[in-house]
Amino acid sequence: MDKIKNPFSPGAGSPPPELAGRDIVLEQARVLLGRAKAKRSEKSLLLTGLRGVGKTVLLNAIEHIAKDQDYRTILVEAHEGKSLAVLLAPHLRRLLFDLDRIAGAGDKARRGIAVLKSFVGAIKLKIGDLDIGLDIEPEAGSADSGDLEVDLPSLFMAVAEAAEERGTAVAIFIDEIQYFNMTELSALIMAMHKMQQRQLPLVLIGAGLSILPGLAGESKSYAERLFNFPDIGPLFQADALKALQDPVQEVGESFSDDALKEIFRLTKGYPYFLQEWGYQAWNQAVTSPITLQVIQETSDLVAKRLDDNFFRVRFDRLTPKEKTFLRAMAELGEGPYRTGDIAEKLNTKINILGPVRANLIKKGMVYSPSYGDMAFSVPLFNEFMRRVIPNFESCL
């Protein structure tokens, strides 16, 4: 079959030909954006889910909706070792200058720039030569305490008031939100708390691995009241079949029913795996419909591709100790796993495992779905660990 016409798109953040099974979240986002713009309070959204389930493509889709609703949008991706302030400041600057350019009475955009300038000054932002605006003096006493949990809410307020004055609204999208530290997360939560109290038109839509178990005390209870945490998981069978069949039918071809069901069985409905399977099966097939036999013949190829790419890149970033830790988890079956059980498998004490566990969380390999529990953040990684290290004893 014509490889150029292949509709599938395996890859990080690559928009799928059919965004299947996400109608409820998209509707939630539409309602949030609509209500915030009308100054009615609504919980912000944090999309949480494992690697490759489609958080980034959803975030992009919601950004489109926001733009259609005349929102001003900012989309950033958090990294290990890059602070929230450094990440956001240049975007907020651009946004405030854009707002300042819109004709209208009032000077809140200029004030926003002044507040941003004092914010940047206070945290001694090292972002090269970010020139906030030469002719604008920083606003002393606003967002310049140097304490992010105080300053970020003030900054967001200044931005939101500027947007409000210009008759628009702001949506901030943050991907990989789990990379922020506790102070940063808590500052974001405080800032969103302010937005809700004042009913200002600024919403936050985040995506990443679950952050809730990592938050402590007050931050956590605020977060639960201020955010919805839709769980982005594998697709249900009907949606997974649609994600495969519809794009193929669109270009005049098809899958047989048993072929579709077999792909669902093998992928368990995980979106990244569905795209990879669709892509390879199409290339392997000689004619349409793509049959069960083609799927069976493609099976080894796809398994190898996933092992060599999707799984391998993550595996190669691990130290020997980290590999052993993950292999012990895999030995315990499906998960989530109690830290105590992992320690027992490794014949060691929980506190000795602390640093390895912390590094694995930092690398985004595992997360804590609830207190004291660990789980793989990459779907089916337990099976991969058993494939690359068949014998558990050998890695001890």
Ligand X SMILES: Nc1ncnc2c1ncn2[C@@H]1O[C@H](COP(=O)(O)OP(=O)(O)OP(=O)(O)O)[C@@H](O)[C@H]1O
Chain positions contacting ligand X, by CB under 6 A: 9-14, 16, 19-22, 49, 51-57, 243, 271-272, 274-275
Q: Which is nearer to Mg ion, 63 or 144 (CB)?
A: 63
Q: Which is nearer to ligand X, 178 or 196 (CB)?
A: 178
Tell me the closest approach of the beta carbon of residue 211 to Mg ion, in angstroms: 15
How many CA atoms does the CB half-sphere of 70 hold within 13 Å? 10
Query: End-to-end distance of the chain based on CA atoms, in angstroms?
Result: 48
Tell me the closest approach of the beta carbon of residue 356 to ligand X, in angstroms: 22
Question: With CB cut-offs between 5 and 8 Å by kind, which of ligand X, Mg ion, none does residue 219 bind?
Answer: none
Nearest residue to the partner ligand X, using Cβ: 54
Q: What is the CA radius of gyration of the chain?
A: 24
Q: Is the dihedral of CA 45, 12, 312, 302 positive or negative?
A: positive
Q: Which is nearer to ligand X, 9 or 291 (CB)?
A: 9
Of 44, 48, 56, 382, the one binding Mg ion (CB under 5 A) is 56
Rounded to whole angstroms, the Cα distance separating 241 from 350 reads: 43
Tell me the closest approach of the beta carbon of residue 145 to Mg ion, in angstroms: 33
Residue 178 touching Mg ion (CB under 5 A)? no
Question: With CB cut-offs between 5 and 8 Å by kind, which of Mg ion, ligand X, none does residue 29 bind?
Answer: none
Rounded to whole angstroms, the Cα distance separating 298 from 217 reads: 50
Q: Which is nearer to Mg ion, 13 or 146 (CB)?
A: 13
Q: Which positions ≥6 away from 237 have C-beta within 8 Å?
A: 264, 269
Residue owning tokens 């004490």: 349
Are 331 and 294 in contact, with CB atoms under 8 Å apart?
Answer: no
Question: With CB cut-offs between 5 and 8 Å by kind, which of ligand X, Mg ion, none does residue 10 bind?
Answer: ligand X
Tell me the closest approach of the beta carbon of residue 207 to ligand X, in angstroms: 7
* Residue 48, amino acid: T
Tell me the closest approach of the beta carbon of residue 87 to ligand X, in angstroms: 17
Q: Which is nearer to ligand X, 13 or 354 (CB)?
A: 13
Q: Which is nearer to ligand X, 138 or 364 (CB)?
A: 364
Tell me the closest approach of the beta carbon of residue 116 to Mg ion, in angstroms: 28
- 70: exposed, middle or buried (Cβ count in 10 Å: 0-12, 13-18, 19+): exposed
State the alpha helices, DSSP H only, in 227-270: 237-250, 257-267
Tell me the closest approach of the beta carbon of residue 143 to ligand X, in angstroms: 31
* Residue 135, amino acid: D
Tell me the closest approach of the beta carbon of residue 347 to ligand X, in angstroms: 33
Tokens representing 10 are 């395996």
Are 78 and 176 in contact, with CB atoms under 8 Å apart?
Answer: yes
Question: With CB cut-offs between 5 and 8 Å by kind, which of Mg ion, ligand X, none does residue 305 bind?
Answer: none
Rounded to whole angstroms, the Cα distance separating 256 from 251 reads: 15
Question: With CB cut-offs between 5 and 8 Å by kind, which of Mg ion, ligand X, none does residue 275 bind?
Answer: ligand X
Q: Which is nearer to Mg ion, 48 or 118 (CB)?
A: 48
Chain Cα centroid distance, residue 49:
8
What is the x/- site pattern for Mg ion, positions 4-43, by CB under 5 A?
A: ----------------------------------------
Beta bridge partners of 44: 227
By the criterion CB under 5 A, which residues form the site for Mg ion? 56
